[in-house]
Amino acid sequence: MPRSPLMPALAVALTAAACLAPPPVIAQMAATPEKVPPLSKGEIQLSFAPIVKRAAPSVVNVYATHVEKRNARSNAMAEFMRRFFGEDAPGRGPGGTPGERAQRSLGSGVIVDASGLVITNNHVIDNMNEVKVSLADRREFEATIVLRDPRTDLAVLKIKSPADVAPMPIGDSDHLEVGDFVMAIGNPFGVGQTVTQGIISALARTQVGSSDYQFFIQTDAAINPGNSGGALVDLKGHLVGVNTAIYSQSGGSHGIGFAIPASMIRAVVDTAKGGGSTVRRPWLGARLQTVTPDIAESVGLDRPTGVLVASMQPKSPAEDSGLKRGDVVLAIDGQQVDDPEAFGYRFALKGTTGKTTLSIQRGAKKQTVEVKLGSAPETRPRDMLKVKSRSPFVGATLVNTSPAVAEEIQVDLPADGVAVAEVEEGSIAGRSGFKKGDVIVAINGSIVSSTKDLERMTRDSLGVWEVSINRGGEVMTTVFRG
């Protein structure tokens, strides 16, 4: 399978939603100063240096390591490798220490609070257990991981014993416009802190694929491996995005980079400041789909926009609000949404208390509905299971289904069943073809209703497993022999 050209900026490598009813031009001009291009040679020769001087001290290098203790047999193999291949052979830990195996990761981060909180990408510290940050003035600190949010690919670190750190103000990404100047600051390829400059190339990019909430800022400021978690800065020196991915067929920058907007960064940082280790998000309980030209014409829209309500879960906030199947949601609290990804991003920022107003079109009539905000309920314990007995499920994390699990995995799930929450790369489950979101329907003809059922069935099996799974509404059956 060819490798996708879209990669995290750590590895080898979104138009801002306008109000549905924009304010009068005069009021808008009063609120937002008019932006003008350089008008003279003198203006063109102006420097970005004052902005860099303010912003650069807030950007840090992030060094993450996963140190794994090894058993005696692995130690013997590591020693064999050392004898024949030298001190840097695979399987040796930091400094060539026998008995340890180390994975390393290099990225960037941004200090966002005087207490020492640092925002970075989750993929920079994923699976790591030791983290250090290096400041622009070359001071180095150990850091703890206080929050991981894989769904946004963001994580928050806490510098141990911070002294005289310079936090960067978080800006307002909703007021960015295509063509605005921005700078990317990070540590590409580990060469040291580097500043690149460009413009906002596009906004609200939703087909990037590097996180669940896709609503990215696109920029042509050079972003390369090692820039992951670094800052995208506006001309005020404010953080407007965290650089997270590049589109590349060579591993280097081709002028197509993507950053997570500041509005999502603020939500994650506020959770960490409040002592939370998990970001809680509101639950709608509806399946949404893109509005096609045919659908737009059938409901009287002049163009394809908004999201179509395809179905709703019983007793969900969507059903309780009065939404109906076939409604087209055009905006959330006045902010236009053009596709399901944009809706998901805007809705996720609303929190889990209070209400939000959806502007909808039902038939030929426009109206509004109020949705009560709250977290998806965990209607039964998830009873997380990692199968240890020999079976095709080894390496998969399995959980009992519920609205909360369905929201986390971002797939439609039945009320009673067992879903695959994670699959370890290279595991037996992965090689067997299981994928995140699969629902295990039956094993050897017996219905699977809970993780306890599945554990018992795999333990009692005679080495043959006929497994039926539901993947995206399609049921398939495969026989495994062990």
**Please, are residues 15 and 254 in contact by the beta-carbon 8 Å criterion?**
no
The 10 Å Cβ neighbour count of residue 128 is: 18
- What the block records as the tokens of 446 is 């017996």
Distance of CA 62 to the CA centre of its chain: 18
Active-site position among 123, 173, 402, 438: 123
Active-site position among 201, 228, 263, 321: 228
153 is catalytic: yes
- What the block records as the tokens of 254 is 């081709």
**Please, are residues 360 and 343 in contact by the beta-carbon 8 Å criterion?**
no
**Please, are residues 389 and 459 in contact by the beta-carbon 8 Å criterion?**
yes
The 10 Å Cβ neighbour count of residue 449 is: 15
- What the block records as the tokens of 97 is 């220490």
**Please, are residues 256 and 237 in contact by the beta-carbon 8 Å criterion?**
no
Active-site position among 149, 153, 220, 327: 153
CB proximity list for 171: less than 8 A, separation 6 or greater: 234, 236, 238, 239, 240, 262
402 is catalytic: no
H-helix segments, 288-348: 293-299, 317-321, 340-348
**Please, are residues 77 and 123 in contact by the beta-carbon 8 Å criterion?**
no
Residue showing tokens 């998830």: 382
- What the block records as the tokens of 108 is 């960037």
**Please, are residues 185 and 56 in contact by the beta-carbon 8 Å criterion?**
yes
123 is catalytic: yes
Q: Containing H/E element for 250?
A: none
Pairing of strands 59-69, 239-247: unpaired
Active site residues: 123, 153, 228
